[in-house]
Amino acid sequence: YMEDIIRLFPEPLSPAQAFSGSDQARVGHHNDCFLAGENDAGTYTWNMWDVQKAYLERITRFVPVAGETCEVNFNLPRQGCSVALAELRRFNWQVLSGTWYQGVLDRWKREGCYPEIARRLGYRFRLVRAVIPEQLSQGGSLKMGLEIANDGFANPVRPRPVHILLRNRVTKQVYRFPLRADPRTWEPGKTQALVLEAGLPGEMPTGEYEVLLHLPDPAQNLQNRPEYAIRLANTGVWEPSTGYNNLQHVVRVQ
């Protein structure tokens, strides 16, 4: 309950404290009766919900928010699409049950917002544009830029590497270039500019190279498992066998 979070941590988690690994930075919120009346069936203390929601809004960029809808007060306006979308955005929801309560889920389907909710829960990264050179010099430098929008309700709350890859079209040899970027800071509703400046390895052969983006899991034993990598929302870029996002651009090293 929100009253328990506030009792444990009277001051909301600040951006400076976020992702620090402290107890407060690791405590998220589970709402077991989302949208069931003004206080969500006791999730918020009666007549204190405005204060508790304001507190929750301040911390949900940094900790997980999850839960489910429920049957209480069914058919009230609060359970309709307009309120649901507003609160999912406001509190940066990441996980919502897809099986309970079916009556509320069916209402969202009738009112037309269910597909949007399904798409936007958690983060949803979309490549807006890429500025990539057509050719590079062997032993020279690579300079390129990306713009990535977050169309989701939330951002990741765990650290994650960001790598640009160059993959030889003939040999399939992959050269990896880490970006100094933290996807946890890629806020919902905003676009992030990423810039890479890196030197090419001296032994890198001439030829054509595909350009890819890889956002693997931070755990060492999961980094090479494609199902744990982040998939961009763009069509035609995801490689399920590798976990890479193919930016559909070929650069020639000569």
Residue-wise pLDDT for 190-208, tens only, equals 999 999 999 999 999 999 9
* pLDDT band, residue 108 (cuts 50/70/90): very high
Residues 162, 125 contacting (CB under 8 angstroms): no
| Preceding omega of 101 cis (within 30 degrees of 0) | yes
Residues 114, 84 contacting (CB under 8 angstroms): no
Cα-based angle 169, 171, 174 (whole degrees, multiple of 5): 75
* Tens digit of each residue's pLDDT (9 = 90 or more) over 72-105: 765 677 899 999 999 999 999 999 999 999 999 9
Orientation of helix 81-90 relative to helix 102-111, angle to 10°: 100
CB neighbour burial string for 123-146, b if at least 16 within 10 angstroms, e if fewer? bbbebeebebeeebeeeeebebeb
Q: What percent of the chain has pLDDT over 70?
A: 99
Q: Cα torsion for 87, 92, 95, 101, to the nearest 10°?
A: -10
Q: How many CA atoms lie within 13 A of 49 on its CB side?
A: 12
Q: What percent of the chain has pLDDT over 90?
A: 93
Q: How many CA atoms lie within 13 A of 214 on its CB side?
A: 27
Provide the whole-model pTM: 0.94
Does 251 score more than 80 pLDDT? yes
Q: Which CATH number fits domain 125-253: 2.40.160, 1.20.272, 2.70.50, 3.30.2320?
A: 2.70.50
Does 237 score more than 90 pLDDT? yes
Q: Which two tokens stand for residue 9?
A: 């941590």
Mean pLDDT of 168-176: 98
Please tell me the distance from the alpha carbon of residue 149 to that of residue 138, in angstroms, as a whole number. Answer: 32
Give me the residue spans of the domains in the chain: 2-120, 125-253
